[in-house]
Amino acid sequence: MPVTLKQVDEARRNIGGAALRTPLVPLNAETACAAVHLKLENLQPIGSFKIRGAANVMARTPRERLARGVLTASAGNMAQGVAFCARRLGIPATVVSPDTAPATKIRAVERLGGRVILAPFAEWWRTFETRTYTGVDATFIHAFDDPDVMAGNGTIALELLEDLPAFDAVVIPWGGGGLSCGIAAVLRALAPAIRIYAAEIETAAPLAASLAAGEPRTVDYTPSFVDGIGSRVVFASMFEHARRLLDGSIVVTLDEAAAAMKLAAERNRIIVEGASACAIAAAISGRAGAGKVVALVSGGNIDLEKFSALLGQVADLPQPSAVT
């Protein structure tokens, strides 16, 4: 297991002053095969689950290392988590983001006092691999490939089991894998019968390709409004966790994600970003199976102009066939 229950219990204590216990609510729509529930991590102080992992890893990092300041690579949500926690600790935070990162996430990091360096996608991804960035002398906080980050994310599973003890499946957006694997480690230990699926977008779905091949594979990547997940490759370490812990990856189309985004706004009056919409779309599609299915609403950080434009375009799309 990437993390133990003891580590997750400790993480729960560590993040108490920063992260909220978010609500679990029914999706206000009937589906043909499942009763879908939404875990609303978009209601966190930074609008994303990333605050959990950031708060835990920084709580466990020695003070003398934090005094140098912190560095992370992020498309925007982990960036906000690290900047939020750094401001609470009174230390500087530097973030390397892809030059395609949404403006609303960049502005949020800057409001929190973080310094943002925009880089081409390949250079940004190398920062994950090398855990360094030229010219920045700071302690690196990895967005997903870190047991303390995964333990922080695993606290979500404890809340799910307390709030909905008898659910059948959960669908989790797959970015780097830290959210899926952190949650899955807890569920496999405490409720092994629960089905656990990653959700990916068709324009960048390396996990599905890697699981099908039995080894990490590189796929084509096309930027889209689904910016919180999706890359060309899966880290080898995260792939090993995923193939042991997950039941598969459900890949959704951009149209399905946009329709799920509109459905959540219309029926539950919530703003979800593209990654979250992928989990909702996968849950209502029936591909996660029947019964009580939880869709992990990982965040709600999307430019409002983009959100409005997308919802306007969805007006001409058919409603998801599994939803009434």
Nearest to 230 by CA among 183, 287, 277: 277
The single residue of 180, 210, 285, 298 carrying the catalytic annotation is 298
d(CA 19, CA 40): 12
Neighbouring-strand partners of residue 38: 25, 295
d(CA 152, CA 250): 24
* Annotation says 298 is catalytic: yes
Q: Please answer whether residues 200 and 251 qualify as being in contact, where contact means their C-beta atoms are separated by less than 8 angstroms.
A: yes
The single residue of 39, 48, 50, 231 carrying the catalytic annotation is 50
Tokens of 259: 């329709």
d(CA 78, CA 46): 9
DSSP letters of 116-151? EEEE-HHHHHHHHHHS-BTTB-SEE--SSS-HHHHH
Q: How far is CA 147 from CA 143, 178, 208, 295, in A?
A: 11, 8, 23, 23
d(CA 296, CA 64): 35
Catalytic residues: 50, 298
